[in-house]
Structure formats: C-alpha cells, structure tokens
C-alpha cells in the first residue's frame, strides 16, 4: 500500500524532528506571553469560501459528510480564529496574544517545501492597532527562527504594505471590486516571466514599466514602517528586516502591512507569511465585533529543509533529539535470579522521574552494557557480585563506584546533571 502523494509517515526519527520544531515553537511563544488555543480539523466549506479566498479555494480537501454538510479539512487557521474570537469577544482582555500548532491540509502540487499535509505555527495579536503590535509580531517571528540556531545570514523578513498597491491600482482607475485580482497578479510577479505578466497587467490597464518604476520608487506611506524599524532596532533585531513591495500575499483578508520570510539564498519557498487583517472579525460578526488583528503562519516543511541545510542549526537539532531520547540509567542484571530486585529498583527510579531502561530478555553482561551505550545512558547500575550493594558505572568515563541500595536515589541525583531540556 502506497502513501498518498504529499502525506508523510512519521517514523520515530521523523517524529523526533517534528517534536523538536513543535517544542521550540511552544517555548518561544510562551516567552512572548502567547496563550495556546486550537480549533476543529473540519469546518463548513463556506468558512473558507467567504474568508480565505485566493488560491486556497482550489486546494481544499472537501467532501459531503453523512449529514449532507459540505465540509473541508482545515487548510489554515485564520478564519476559525476570527470566528472563535468574535463569538466570545467579551470574555477576553485585549489585546489577545494567541498561538496554535495545527496540522493543515491543502491539495497542492507536491514539490520541495510543499506537501498536502503540514504543521503550521500561528501567532496572532487581536485588538491592538498600533505599530508596536506589528513590531512585536516580527520580533516573535524572528526569535522563533533564531531559536533554531538560524541567524540573519540564513533568513530575511521582507515587509510590505498592501495599501500601497491598492492606492496604486485605484489611482490607475482599476475598479474597486477588481483590486484583489490585481493584487493576485502582483503576488505572482517574482515567479513569472515578463511575457506572462504583461498581458495580465494589461487587463487592468497597467504596464510592467509602471509597476517596475513603482517598485524602485514606492509612493508607499513609509511612516508606519519607520516606527516598526525603530522598535526592532531598539531590540537589536532590525537587521533581519527589509522593505520589499513585491510581497502582497495570496489570501483575501489582508488589509495593509504584510510580510514573508525567505531563506537568504532563496532556494526554498517562503518559510512564513502573514500580516494585518483588520476587517476579518467585523466581517465574521456582521459588524458586531470591530477588532483589528495581525498574525503569521510558519510551516514545518520549509523550516526543516533549512535546518537540515544549515550545519549549526542541524547540530543543535541533533543534540536536542539525542538528549530527549537518551536514557539516564540502565540496569544491568548479572544474575537472572535477581530480576525481581531489578524490577523493584527500576520502578522506584522511574517513579522518581528518571528515564530507566533494561534488557527485557536475559542477556550476557557485555551485551547489556552495549545496550546501555546504545540507549545513550549516562550511568549503568549493576546488580552483580557486590549484591546487596550496587555498582554504578559512568559510561562516558568508565568511572566505577559502589553504593548501598538505600542511598541509590540520593547518589543518582548527585551524579546525574539536572535536565535542562524542555
Ligand atoms: P500561508 O502563506 O498560506 O499563510 O502559509 C504560511 C506558511 O505555511 C508558508 O509560508 C509555508 O511555510 C507554510 N505552508 C503553506 N502551504 C504549505 C504546504 N502546502 N506545504 C508545506 N508548508 C506550507 C496562512 O496560512 C495564513 N493563515 C497565516 C496567517 C496567520 N496570517 C495571519 N495569521
């Protein structure tokens, strides 16, 4: 039986890499005071038809359920988040800083960095219109990537303002109801040849030369971006950000400030993308809830490619994984008759919170020590000739010493370094 295209099996080594990413994301989100939430995996298809728009609609995994409802597997979180907040808006102090780590489904063409199933960190701030929120959002985005050992040599945040293009279009008499279609053409600018782009722009009465000269000399309202850069400079994070008006984003709900993150060599698809969606909550609640919002999504697929291709980041990941899967202790049993004693000691050490392993099947002592090494144990505990005393052996240094059973836990807590992993 073959896997469906774009779907992954997670063998233990794959799960370990995925969990590394998810756990870093969680840890940094907590540092910034974001609270975790989640929503349903299935939603009524209208939610995405009305709110996501753009390319996403052609990529839905959708079906009619047994009750005749047309549903879609979630391709993104933002419409669900807007509904959740609009529904219970009064229950929450503003601004809300929320994050989630959901798995999404999009029927895309499978390629490097793009699958049909992926995890995506979402961070959103709701109810704070000032540039301080924009800067906080970029700071958490940058720190998410820094926490993987990536630096400004490895990635760049390209910021832009959709309003600049909206005004550009309106000034050139693009009808208001066609501005989103115009933005979709600009979104494809970098990925298309001049021959492909020219006729598409011509539909809006715009020339490629006009667009190119705007990009070189933006009429964009730069004041908002200046406050943003000043804020990031005070944190020492301004070197990660560049202005790039070719970024407009493919989703319908963005209202102004938008951004995407790319690897410096630009060999990968976007690592993350987001922006302001100041009208979505109002749209979702028929005008009852007027809260501004902004946020981003960061996928695990491109991030993992970049980590694998960046030696310091890869080594940091491998250290974390080794650390998380290694045993602390390994019990070595010289004499099968002592198995009940070994199990009693095993249980008390596990109850004390240590990661303890042992050989399920009877095995020669040498083989058991080999297993201890393979499990990455720090210390082997031998039930051998010294019985009822125990012999401890630190595997890295081969140092050996003997302890009485009733002092074992105290001795282990002295001899094992405290865990610092999260
Ligand atoms: P998005 O640009 O569609 O934004 O996705 C954000 C990130 O998710 C992408 O940059 C990419 O890393 C990852 N991603 C998207 N599609 C795939 C795929 N097929 N395979 C692997 N990774 C993928 C959104 O989803 C917005 N809802 C983000 C947002 C949150 N805006 C405001 N708040």
Asked which of 35-49, 99-113, 223-237, 295-309 is least confident by mean pLDDT, the reply is: 223-237
- Pocket test of ligand 1: the residue of 187, 252, 297 to mutate, having most ligand atoms within 8 Å of its CB, is 297
**pLDDT (0 to 100) of residue 349:** 96
Write the DSSP string, 286-333.
TTS----EEEEEEEHHHHHHHHHHSHHHHHHHHHHHHHHH--SEEEEE
127 Cβ below 6 A of ligand 1? no
**pLDDT (0 to 100) of residue 169:** 92
Asked which of 146-160, 189-203, 371-385, 407-421 is least confident by mean pLDDT, the reply is: 407-421
**pLDDT (0 to 100) of residue 218:** 64
262 Cβ below 6 A of ligand 1? no
- Average model confidence (pLDDT) across the chain: 94
Asked which of 96-110, 122-136, 205-219 is least confident by mean pLDDT, the reply is: 205-219
Write the DSSP string, 353-404.
T--EEE-SS---HHHHHHHHHHTT-SEEEEESTTTTSEEEEETTT--EEEE-
Q: Is 417 exposed, middle or buried (0-12, 13-18, 19+ CB in 10 A)?
A: exposed
How far, in Å, is the centroid of ligand 1 from the Cα of 299? 6
Q: Name the residue at shortest CA distance from atom 13 of ligand 1.
A: 299
Partners of residue 400 on adjacent β-strands: 393
**pLDDT (0 to 100) of residue 422:** 46
Average pLDDT of span 167-179: 91
**pLDDT (0 to 100) of residue 155:** 98
Task: Return the ligand 1 atom nearest residue 294 CA.
Answer: 32
Report which of 181, 204, 180 is spatially closest to residue 253, judged by C-alpha positions: 180
**pLDDT (0 to 100) of residue 24:** 98
Contact assessment for residue 18 and residue 300, using Cβ atoms and an 8 Å cutoff: yes
Q: Name the residue at shortest CA distance from atom 18 of ligand 1.
A: 114
Between CA 364 and CA 334 the distance in angstroms is 8
Half-sphere exposure of 58 (CA within 13 A, CB side): 6
How far, in Å, is the centroid of ligand 1 from the Cα of 274? 8
Q: Name the residue at shortest CA distance from atom 2 of ligand 1.
A: 273
Is the pLDDT at 421 greater than 90? The verdict is no
Between CA 231 and CA 238 the distance in angstroms is 8
120 Cβ below 6 A of ligand 1? yes
- Pocket test of ligand 1: the residue of 183, 273, 276 to mutate, having most ligand atoms within 8 Å of its CB, is 273
Which letter does DSSP use for residue 250 in this model? Answer: S
Task: Return the ligand 1 atom nearest residue 56 CA.
Answer: 3
Non-local (6+) Cβ contacts of 405 within 8 A are 345, 388, 389, 390
Between CA 96 and CA 80 the distance in angstroms is 15
Is the pLDDT at 219 greater than 60? The verdict is no
Task: Return the ligand 1 atom nearest residue 274 CA.
Answer: 31
Report which of 112, 113, 86, 81 is spatially closest to residue 98, judged by C-alpha positions: 81
108 Cβ below 6 A of ligand 1? yes
Average pLDDT of span 109-136: 96
Domains of the chain: 12-319 (3.30.930.10), 327-415 (3.40.50.800)
Is the pLDDT at 107 greater than 50? The verdict is yes
Report which of 235, 223, 218 is spatially closest to residue 138, judged by C-alpha positions: 235
123 Cβ below 6 A of ligand 1? no
Of all residues in the chain, the percent with pLDDT exceeding 90 is 84
102 Cβ below 6 A of ligand 1? no
Which has more confidence, 234 or 228? Answer: 234
Q: Name the residue at shortest CA distance from atom 16 of ligand 1.
A: 114
**pLDDT (0 to 100) of residue 214:** 87
- Per-residue pLDDT reduced to its tens digit, 76-93: 999 999 999 999 999 999
Is the pLDDT at 25 greater than 90? The verdict is yes
Report which of 181, 172, 175 is spatially closest to residue 211, judged by C-alpha positions: 172
Q: Name the residue at shortest CA distance from atom 28 of ligand 1.
A: 297
Is the pLDDT at 223 greater than 80? The verdict is no
pLDDT winner (highest mean) among 52-66, 199-213, 304-318:
304-318
What band does 225 get if pLDDT is binned at 50, 70 and 90?
Answer: confident
- Pocket test of ligand 1: the residue of 18, 76, 106 to mutate, having most ligand atoms within 8 Å of its CB, is 76
| 83's tokens | 């509904």
95 Cβ below 6 A of ligand 1? no
What band does 191 get if pLDDT is binned at 50, 70 and 90?
Answer: confident
Q: Name the residue at shortest CA distance from atom 30 of ligand 1.
A: 296
- Per-residue pLDDT reduced to its tens digit, 277-323: 999 999 999 999 999 999 999 999 999 999 999 999 999 999 999 99
Beta strand segments in 46-168, E: 62-64, 70-73, 96-100, 103-105, 117-126, 155-161
Q: What is the CA radius of gyration of the chain?
A: 27
Global pTM exceeds 0.85: yes
How far, in Å, is the centroid of ligand 1 from the Cα of 120? 7
118 Cβ below 6 A of ligand 1? yes
Query: How does strand 293-299 pair with strand 272-276?
Result: antiparallel
């Amino acid at each position: 039986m073959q896997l469906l295209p774009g779907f992954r099996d997670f063998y233990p080594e794959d799960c370990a890499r995925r969990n590394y990413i998810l756990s870093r994301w969680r840890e940094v989100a907590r540092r910034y005071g974001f609270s975790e939430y989640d929503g349903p995996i299935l939603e009524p298809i209208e939610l995405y038809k009305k709110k996501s728009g753009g390319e996403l609609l052609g990529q839905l995994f959708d079906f009619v359920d047994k009750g005749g409802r047309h549903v879609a597997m979630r391709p993104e979180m933002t419409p669900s988040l807007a509904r959740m907040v609009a529904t219970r808006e009064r229950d929450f102090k503003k601004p809300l800083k929320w994050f989630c780590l959901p798995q999404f489904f999009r029927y895309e063409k499978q390629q490097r960095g793009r699958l049909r199933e992926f995890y995506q960190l979402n961070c959103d701030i709701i109810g704070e219109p000032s540039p301080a929120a924009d800067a906080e959002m970029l700071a958490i985005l940058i720190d998410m990537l820094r926490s993987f050992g990536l630096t400004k040599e490895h990635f760049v945040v390209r910021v832009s303002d959709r309003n600049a293009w909206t005004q550009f279009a309106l000034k050139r008499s693009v009808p208001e109801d066609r501005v989103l279609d115009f933005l979709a053409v600009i979104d494809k600018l970098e990925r298309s040849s001049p021959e492909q782009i020219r006729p598409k722009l011509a539909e809006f009465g715009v020339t490629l030369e006009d667009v190119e000269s705007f990009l070189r000399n933006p009429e964009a309202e730069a004041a908002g971006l200046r406050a943003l850069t000043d804020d990031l400079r005070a944190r020492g994070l301004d070197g990660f950000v560049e202005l790039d008006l070719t970024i407009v984003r493919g989703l319908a709900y963005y209202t102004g400030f938008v951004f995407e993150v790319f690897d410096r060599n630009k060999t990968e698809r976007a690592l993350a993308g987001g922006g302001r969606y100041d009208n979505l909550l109002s749209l979702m609640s028929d005008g009852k809830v007027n809260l501004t919002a902004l946020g981003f999504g960061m996928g695990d697929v491109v991030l993992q490619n970049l980590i694998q291709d960046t030696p310091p980041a890869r080594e940091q990941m491998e250290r974390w994984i080794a650390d998380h899967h290694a045993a602390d202790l390994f019990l070595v049993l010289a004499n099968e008759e002592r198995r009940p004693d070994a199990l009693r000691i095993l249980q008390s050490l596990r109850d004390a919170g240590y990661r303890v392993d042992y050989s399920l099947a009877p095995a020669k002592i040498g083989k058991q020590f080999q297993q201890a090494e393979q499990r990455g144990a720090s210390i082997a505990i031998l039930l051998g000739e010294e019985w009822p005393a125990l012999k401890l052996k630190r595997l890295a240094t081969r140092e050996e010493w003997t302890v009485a059973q009733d002092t074992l836990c105290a001795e282990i807590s002295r001899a094992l370094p405290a865990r610092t992993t999260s």
